[in-house]
Amino acid sequence: MSSQEIPEENLPAAQDDAHDAHGAVKVADEKNPFADPGLPPHEHRIQDIDERAAKRSERTVALLFTVSMLATVGFIASYLVIDVDKSIYVWPIGHISALNFALGMTLGLSLFCIGAGAVHWARTLMSDVEVADERHPIEAAPEVKAKVLADFKAGAEESVIGRRKLIRTTMFGALALFPLSGVFLLGGLGPAPGTKLRHTTWAKGKKLVNMNTNEPLRASDVAVGSLTFAMPDGLSEHDHDFQKNIAKDALMIVRIQPDDIKDKRELEWSHEGIVAFSKICTHVGCPISLYEQQTHHVLCPCHQSTFDLADGGRVIFGPAGHALPQLRITVGEDGYLEAVSDFEEPVGPAFWERG
């Protein structure tokens, strides 16, 4: 087959006597210090000289894009149909979630086929002409911008996207359908938390239990100047949801001389100077543990937010956005400290309040 039968986009650019087939100068001079670096002569691919081979490549690319579309549809169908608790045996991994397996396989296949289709398209049908380019000064002159634009248009033409309608249609189909997978994944974020983050396990009559000894706390157990960590009675480390609950329930118990308590509500919510504050920092939720008994300040080790436990848990330093929530406590008939109610505000980082 002669070069007349080769599509125009596959032919090298017209050359003059001073330049070789790749556009490089044949003889070095002052302006072009490097002559032809010796690239081998251009060889046409089978698709460049045989339209039937080009058609085969086109169909292969279209097939890959079509498989991608089917895989995306399979992803959505799997998400809708497969039970979240169903498990299957997959050798050699063992038993795994059927839903995760199906989502992973279909999503992977969909992405792979888009990539493989694009690579096959580039390697077999896009222009295959080698081009030598001179180094240019790094500046964005208007003519450079114009050239970039022209190159971009030429690239679009050379990609044959205008001529190969089947590829164009299936590629747009695959690319348009693929983001749907992400939309469906949003559903996997689960139900909205509702008011769950606003409440803890604390409730009227729940005893305060010392987290170190696992024993209920008597008022007489709490000495002035000491710091005790407490959790609600009934919480066990062996419960499956222990971590989830303790992340909201943990308390710091300190005893302050009632005269030193500046905040009126804090005094009312305490028992003879024993105050119970959330141990969860209101910045981003680190557990607070550093207590300075002279000043009644507690310091969060993460970003040094400092709270005044003698003044309603007010923030006196650092990035925390609001005061530490206080739990209203009292003493039951049996002499043990107990909660009067749940916290009256959400514990932990401020964004929970905005939910």
Instruction: Compute the least distance from the CB of residue 302 to ligand FES, in Å.
Output: 4
Of 169 and 304, nearer to ligand FES (C-beta) is 304
Of residues 153, 154, 303, 321, which one binds ligand FES by CB under 6 A?
303
Which lies closer to ligand FES via its Cβ, residue 180 or residue 290?
Answer: 290
Among 161, 319, 322, 336, binds ligand FES (CB under 6 A): 319
Q: How far is the CB of 320 from ligand FES (least distance, A)?
A: 5
Q: Which of residues 282 and 326 has its CB atom nearest to ligand FES in the complex?
A: 282
Q: Are 249 and 232 in contact (CB under 8 A)?
A: yes
Least separation in angstroms between CB 306 and ligand FES = 9
Peptide bond into 92 cis (omega under 30): yes
Residue 314 three-state SS: strand
* Strand partners of residue 228: 253
Alpha helices in the chain (DSSP H): 46-49, 51-81, 98-124, 142-158, 165-177, 179-186, 242-249, 264-268, 351-354
User: Binding to ligand FES by residue 324, rule CB under 6 A?
Assistant: no
Q: Which of 125, 305, 312, 337 binds ligand FES (CB under 6 A)?
A: 305
Q: Which residues of 79-111 are buried (b: 16+ CB within 10 A; e: fewer)?
A: beebeeeeeeeeeeeeeebbbebbbeebbebbb
Q: Shortest gap between Cβ of 303 and ligand FES (angstroms)? A: 3
User: Which of 34/317 has CB closer to ligand FES?
Assistant: 317
Q: Which amino acid is at 348?
A: G
Nearest approach, Cβ of 324 to ligand FES (angstroms)? 10
Q: Least separation, in Å, of the C-beta of 261 and ligand FES?
A: 23
Residue from 69, 300, 309, 324 in contact with ligand FES (CB under 6 A): 300
Pair of tokens at residue 130: 């080698």
Q: Where are the alpha helices (DSSP H) in 159-285?
A: 165-177, 179-186, 242-249, 264-268
Q: Which is nearer to ligand FES, 321 or 355 (CB)?
A: 321
* DSSP symbols for 31-90: S-------PPPP---HHHH-HHHHHHHHHHHHHHHHHHHHHHHHHHHHHHHS-TT-EEEE
Contacts within 8 Å (CB) and 24+ apart, 208-211: 208/232, 208/233, 208/251, 208/253, 208/276, 208/329, 208/336, 208/337, 208/338, 208/339, 209/233, 209/235, 211/250
Among 235, 275, 320, 323, binds ligand FES (CB under 6 A): 320
Q: Closer CB to ligand FES, residue 22 or residue 279? A: 279
Tokens representing 220?
A: 């007489």
Residue 190 host element (H or E):
none
Q: Which is nearer to ligand FES, 253 or 281 (CB)?
A: 281
CA distance 121 to 124: 5
- CB of residue 285 to ligand FES, shortest distance in Å: 6
Q: Which is nearer to ligand FES, 71 or 320 (CB)?
A: 320
Nearer to ligand FES, 207 or 283 (CB): 283
Rounded distance, CA 310 to CA 173, Å?
Answer: 65
Residue span binding ligand FES (CB under 6 A) among the ranges 1-9, 110-118, 307-315, 317-325: 317-325
Shortest CB 290 distance to ligand FES, Å: 11
- The Cα–Cα gap between 65 and 182 comes to 18
From residue 258 to residue 297, what is the string marking binding to ligand FES with x (rule CB under 6 A)?
Answer: -----------------------x-xx-x-----------
Question: Which pair of tokens denotes residue 92?
Answer: 């050699």
Which range in 157-165, 298-306, 322-330, 336-344 contacts ligand FES by CB under 6 A? 298-306
- Applying CB under 6 A, which residues contact ligand FES? 281, 283-284, 286, 300, 302-303, 305, 318-320
